[in-house]
Structure 1
Amino acid sequence: MLLTAMSTLAFSADSKLDEVLARGHLVMGTGSTNPPWHFKSVDDKLQGFDVDMGHIVAKALFGDPDKIEYVDQSSDSRIPNITTGKVDITCQFMTVTGERAQQVAFTIPYYREGVGLMLKADSSYADYAALKAAGSGVTIAVLQNVYAEDMVHAALPDAKVDQYDSQDLIYQALNSGRADATATDQSSIAWYMTQNAGQYKDAGYGWNPQTYACAVRRGDQDWLNFVNTALHEAMTGVEFDTYAKSFKTWFGKDLAPPQIGFPVEFK
């Protein structure tokens, strides 16, 4: 009787985990136009760091990272597609906020984003300290938005700020000498430097931290626990090599393996 009762408890007809396992593949929402997170290759294959998080979860589910169906969605569809059940999970450089956490359940973080500064490799400014010391003598190119000037001035209070309406234009401003540095997401800096080896350098300072996590529908703790386990073991356990390879591919950085012994999460 005890075994029967335990079996009944272990498998709920309403569990998203059991639904996904029965279907035989994962359905994940993500984008397709934002490298290095989610974008199309020259042969029209979806790729990027977000996409690799889906592969990690699919492998944990089925032993096969390719048992996954991607739903190409806009940023404003990330939450609706979760709440309506169109997707099982969303991994789309989604910043964790209290407001969003009232609508969806966030997984553990898989990346910590922030703003950084990129210089040309041959810049007369060595690093962040040199940029700050130059005061109003430096010009920073940044993507246009209502917070852009305040964001730059939080790191470089006296710098001149030039705003542009596309990411490509801020890089053009740097390359042409109209700007001394660009202020943009540190992931974008890492990606751009990886794609243009030796041409640029990171100023070595980051600010405005924000957490990226996947999101699932509220109310199914089994499903959230499973996804958290898959991501956790990719970052700290048996699938670490997979996560580290993806990190190296998209951000050009080698991750140190988790230390053996006392769990790093509790230090």
Structure 2
Amino acid sequence: MRTAPTTTDRAHRGGRGRAAALAALLAAGVAVLGAGGPQGALLPAAAGAPPRQAPQAAPAADPNCDTTRSVPPSTVDGPAVKAIKDKKTLVIGVDQNSYRWGARNPATGGIEGFDIDLAKAIGTALMGDPSKITFKAVPTAERIKFIQDGKVDMIVRTMTITCERMDQVAFSKPYFRTANRLLVPKARGVKTFDEALNGRTACAARSSSAEDELKGNPHGSKLVTVENQLDCLVLMQLGKVDATMTDDGLAAGQAAQDTTITLLDEQVRPGVMGVAMKLGNTDLVARVNQVLADYQASGAWRESYDRWLKPTMHDDADRFRP
């Protein structure tokens, strides 16, 4: 594991509810990185299925909506970038509960993972100094609100670009291909979505694409929503839900954490992830798009994927690179 980054850690340890969830995880024998932080805590910058066809962006209901659309890359600092530089810190909303994407390393206290590597690259390019990056933990359901309320300057947190979200926040160019998949206890012995969901209880994070998918499923399953996708794993371990739906990368991480659950091969809602920012901050989006282009061209994107995600997702990086 890498050493913790140099930005100031103002994180507070989680309250009783999160501590109880962590206790449940530990009791189930699961090694979890990053469980335990409260909503909005400030943080320091810091076996899978056989290969499948690369997921493609899902067709939009609105033919005029293109989830890969964004502004051209630019190195010019406009008003939004200058305002961030004037306040001397770039606040990036991240996850601290997702294994290998954004999770707290218990040995160092730092947050690390694939999304964290990208967030550091963006912050260092914009601010010129990694000590001027502040990471803020943001629950899944609060991602858009945190941007709109100005609590963060951007979100780098496994956020799928959708047509509905594009009306609420601005997105960078995509940086990862994704799809939703189901996790179920191995003891159930199911192989398909039909078997897994028919008359059962399924879990998803609130305001996630997985929640939208489960709301519209035809199987008559009951939906339970939680603040963060890791909470679904706890509920499944406690026998309170029968299945969990989340992004395939997060699902692979959960399956790696707990060998009593399995990841079904079937996929739904293929799409792409992007960095989210406030509507109207066009110059900031353009600067982020430049960083993304440079990050991929330098090989840093692939290096980060190979380090953090390939051990659980097993497929080559090209399957997930937009």
1:217, CA displacement in angstroms?
A: 2.6
Matched, 1:142 2:196: no
TM-score by length of 1: 0.64
User: Secondary structure of the equivalent of 1:17?
Assistant: helix
Q: Does structure 1 retain, via aligned residues, the 8 Å contact 2:93–2:138?
A: yes
For 2:202, give the aligned amino acid: V
1:240 pairs with 278, 301, 311, which one? 301
- 1:8-19 equivalent positions in 2, closer than 5 A: 14-19=78-83
Q: Which amino acid aligns with 2:263?
A: D
| Alignment partner of 2:93 out of 29, 38, 55 | 29
Check 1:32–1:119 CA distance in 2 against 1; reply closer, same or farther (3 A cut).
closer
CA–CA distance in 2 between the matches of 1:140 and 1:236?
45
**1:54 maps to which of 93, 111, 119:** 119
Q: Per the alignment, do residues 235 and 119 of structure 1 end up closer, same or farther by CA in structure 2, a change over 3 Å counting? A: farther
Offset at 1:207?
Answer: 0.8
Partners in 1 of 2:312 and 2:292 — Cα distance?
Answer: 18
Residue 279 of structure 2: which of 218, 221, 225 is its match? Answer: 218
Q: 1:83 to 1:47 in 2, by over 3 A?
A: same
Structure 1 letter corresponding to 2:287: F
Q: What amino acid sits opposite 1:54 in the alignment?
A: A
State the Cα RMSD in Å. 4.3
For residues 1-267 of structure 1, the aligned pairs below 5 Å read 14-20=78-84, 25-33=89-97, 35=99, 37-42=101-106, 43-61=108-126, 67-75=132-140, 77-83=142-148, 85-119=150-184, 124-125=189-190, 127-128=191-192, 132=194, 140-143=200-203, 151=214, 154=217, 161=221, 167=232, 168-173=234-239, 179=242, 182-185=243-246, 186-196=248-258, 199-235=260-296, 237-245=298-306, 247-248=308-309, 251-256=312-317
Q: In the alignment, what sits opposite 1:7?
A: none
For 2:253, the aligned partner's letter is W
Give % identity.
20
CA positional deviation for 1:143: 1.2
Greater helix content:
1
- Helix, strand or coil at the partner of 2:116: helix
Cα separation, 2, equivalents of 1:238 and 1:48: 16
Aligned length: 236
Q: Which amino acid aligns with 2:257?
A: Q
Deviation at 1:27, TM superposition (A): 1.9
Deviation of the 1:69 alpha carbon: 0.8
Letter of the 1:29 partner, please give it.
G
Retained in 2: the 8 A contact 1:149–1:161? Answer: no
Shift of 1:54: 1.0
Name the structure with the higher strand share. 1
Whether the 8 Å contact between 1:35 and 1:48 is mirrored in structure 2 is: yes
Pair 1:203–1:257, CA change in 2 (3 A): closer
- Runs of 5+ consecutive residues of structure 1 not aligned to the other structure: 1-9, 259-263
Partner AA of 1:60 in structure 2: A
Query: What is the alpha-carbon distance in structure 1 between the residues aligned to residue 318 and residue 211 of structure 2?
Result: 36
Change (3 A) 1:33 1:192: closer
Q: Which amino acid aligns with 2:268?
A: W
